[in-house]
Amino acid sequence: MIVVLKVGSPEAEVERLTQEFLSWGLSPEKIIGKHKVVIGLVGETVEMDPLQIQEASPWIEEVLRVEKPYKRASREYRQGEPSEVIVSTPNGSVTFGEHHPLVVVAGPCSVENEEMIVETALRVKAAGAKFLRGGAFKPRTSPYAFQGHGESALGLLARAREVSGLGIITELMDAADLETLAEVADVIQIGARNMQNFSLLKKVGAQDKPILLKRGMSATIEEWLMAAEYILAAGNPNVILCERGIRTFDNKYARNTLDLAAIPVLRSLTHLPIMIDPSHGTGKWEYVPSMAAAAIAAGTDSLMIEVHPNPKKALSDGPQSLTPERFDLLMQELAVIGNAMGRWIVEPAMAAV
């Protein structure tokens, strides 16, 4: 349930109601909107009468039931207002959200060596990216494929962060690595293969670093939002949803099927920020520019694009990686659409650094 308070409700009354709801065995969560304060009530509310709750205070405007199975993730939980995820980076705060400039995340699939990751970081920053992506721990389909350099790669990401000033997004696979990874990562990624690893979701939900939750390869949108609910229910409100392509019957021409329809669908269902990953979504660098452009036109809040200084020699996902030169050009192309959508403020690089 959500309790909508009238404009100008005294803070003392909000606190009194919060304490009263706690005494009822509920978990009240205060949500401050542009004009009103809403108290979300989580718990056994099925048998509760909304009219009885409304009588608890003359400052209560209305009491509404949240019909979706995902309560905290639903858009109605915030009275239709989008949430923001604000991330502190060495270059200042970056905000992911519906009414903010589009955020570009770029970098290689995996961290290979210091020279490669530092060079890539400097190049993508010059082109306008705000975050560097790079895997230290890599979940691979084959046990014989490159699995990432692990903890030593986190040190290389830290070095790239120091040199470039970019924020770092990297994937967590095992809860045992959470503390070490969180020392380097500004945003912790939960990959497609772990989207429904509920014990892992609870662990990242119990800490305060923002979470990038990628959609599972065969997950429905509701399953994806229920996975986000695990993180939100554990206490972490900073979740970004990333569509990275789903598995369908046709994988001959593209690695996955990039579900761009998810953008308007999510916008109607949830308040959480949205990211699109056209690199994993297509699996071929040639398709990335058009899908990135389409994602901006459809209203995404962020893009994640794989960039590698020498894709042919990449240890993982080379075929879907852009060269730094092609990424420079892409950012200039995307600026045209981004400006038209009112979501672009970066000045893309005109030439290689």
Indicate the pTM of the whole model: 0.91
Measured CA to CA, the distance from residue 343 to residue 110 in angstroms comes to: 29
The per-residue pLDDT for range 48-63, each reduced to its tens digit, is 888 889 888 999 999 9
Q: Is residue 288 within a helix (H) or strand (E), and if so which, with residue range?
A: helix 288-298
The per-residue pLDDT for range 277-304, each reduced to its tens digit, is 999 999 999 999 999 999 999 999 999 9
Q: Is residue 39 within a helix (H) or strand (E), and if so which, with residue range?
A: strand 37-42
Domain with CATH 3.20.20.70 in the chain: 85-340
Residues 206 and 236 sit within 8 Å (Cβ to Cβ): yes
Domain with CATH 3.30.70.1140 in the chain: 2-65
Which one-letter DSSP state was computed for residue 91? T
The predicted structure's pLDDT at residue 353: 39
Calculate what percentage of the chain has a pLDDT beyond 70: 94
Fold of 2-65: Alpha-Beta Plaits (3.30.70)
Tokens of 302: 């962020």
Strand partners, 63: 3
Q: Half-sphere exposure of residue 289, counting CA atoms within 13 Å on the CB side?
A: 14
- Which amino acid makes up residue 264? P
Contacts of 36 (CB under 8 A, 6+ apart): 4, 5, 6, 7, 9, 61, 79
CATH 3.30.2320.50 fits 85-340, yes or no: no
Give rounded-to-5 percent helix, strand, coil for the chain: 35, 20, 40
Nearest to 157 by CA among 116, 101, 201: 116
What number is the average pLDDT over the span 58-86?
92
